[in-house]
Amino acid sequence: MDDLIRKVLAKLHIELSESRETAFIQFIKFGIVGVSNTLLSYALNVAALLALSPLKLSWDYYLANVIAFVISVAWSFFWNNKYVFKTREGEKRNIPLALLKTYASYAFTGLLLANVLAYVWVDLLGISKFIAPLLTLVISVPVNFFLNKLWAFK
């Protein structure tokens, strides 16, 4: 994947210093993981809403957010650890601590912020509870990148 990104940069006549190229490649790979995580999170949210709908709960979209959060953060951590924020030769990562930081990072945006925004979108603005998670992701995804890069996988 790294070579493919380098070839695209070369075709576009974009020259970056080695450190900027490394950071750019990392950002692109984080974006790929992020897209898969976003799709998974949305699918889980919809699946949870559909599974919970027979219960006729007025707060079903909050519970759907929690279910999507727990599963999608584990997915994101696995791929970011393996594919995006790799350790260098001879370096070791404290996996339980990195996982805890990842959940804390995503808890802020993927759980706390998502539920606050769900309240705003659905209860205050009357937006469909099936569209609300998409609006939330537009805000939470960029924030998650910085929290992961600068803290969780640091």
pLDDT mean across residues, the chain: 88
- d(CA 52, CA 85) in angstroms, rounded, equals 36
- Number of domains the chain contains: 1
pLDDT in tens, 18-41: 989 988 898 899 889 988 988 998
Higher pLDDT, 15 or 1: 15
The average pLDDT across 57-61 equals: 78
Q: Calculate the alpha carbon distances from 67 to 46, 51, 85, 111 in Å.
A: 10, 11, 25, 10
Query: Do 43 and 116 form a contact (C-beta atoms < 8 A)?
Result: no
- d(CA 154, CA 101) in angstroms, rounded, equals 10
Kindly indicate the confidence band of residue 91, based on its pLDDT and cuts at 50, 70 and 90: confident
Whether the per-residue pLDDT at 96 is higher than 90: the answer is yes
Q: What angle do the packed helices 18-52 and 132-147 form, to 10 degrees? A: 150
Whether the per-residue pLDDT at 109 is higher than 90: the answer is no
Its pTM surpasses 0.95: no
Block residue for tokens 């995580």? 37
Which pLDDT does position 33 carry in this prediction?
Answer: 93
H helices of the chain, in order, are: 2-11, 18-52, 60-79, 95-106, 114-118, 132-147
Whether the per-residue pLDDT at 59 is higher than 80: the answer is no
Whether the per-residue pLDDT at 136 is higher than 80: the answer is yes
Q: State the residue range of the domain holding 83.
A: 2-152
- d(CA 43, CA 38) in angstroms, rounded, equals 8
